[in-house]
């Protein structure tokens, strides 16, 4: 059951990221807020199923993802702690 919930949060973050890239203005900000909340929730609720790593190219961001996947999404460093 936990696997399903963690995957759902990551899917929500990916969908919000995709929508944010296609949007402008308030819609874009709202989509990024949804993405960031989903990623922060993933780390908070499923620390054993997720990872946080630094991005050398973007030091003000972290990459958050599922431990079972190679790819993650960026989140402002201020929103998660390593």
Q: Does position 81 have pLDDT exceeding 90, yes or no?
A: no
Q: Does position 14 have pLDDT exceeding 90, yes or no?
A: yes
Place of tokens 């995709």: 18
Model confidence at 3, pLDDT cuts 50, 70, 90, reads confident
Q: What percent of the chain has pLDDT over 70?
A: 100
- DSSP structure string for 20-74: HHH--HHHHHHHHHHHHHHHHHHHHH-TTTEEEEE-TT-TTEEEEEETT-S--EE
Q: pTM of the prediction?
A: 0.92
- What pLDDT is stored for residue 75 in this prediction? 98
The strand pair at 73-76 and 61-66 is best described as antiparallel
Specify the DSSP class assigned to residue 76. Answer: E
pLDDT digits (tens, 9 = 90+) for 25-63: 999 999 999 999 999 999 999 999 999 999 999 999 999
* Domains in the chain, number: 1
**Domain extent for 21:** 2-79
């Amino acid at each position: 059951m936990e696997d399903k919930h963690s995957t759902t949060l990551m899917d929500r973050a990916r969908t919000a990221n995709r929508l944010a890239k296609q949007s402008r203005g308030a819609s874009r900000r709202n989509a990024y807020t949804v993405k960031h909340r989903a990623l922060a929730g993933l780390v908070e609720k499923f620390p054993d199923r997720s990872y946080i790593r630094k991005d050398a190219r973007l030091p003000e961001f972290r990459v958050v993802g599922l431990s079972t996947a190679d790819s993650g999404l960026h989140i402002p460093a201020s929103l998660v702690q390593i």
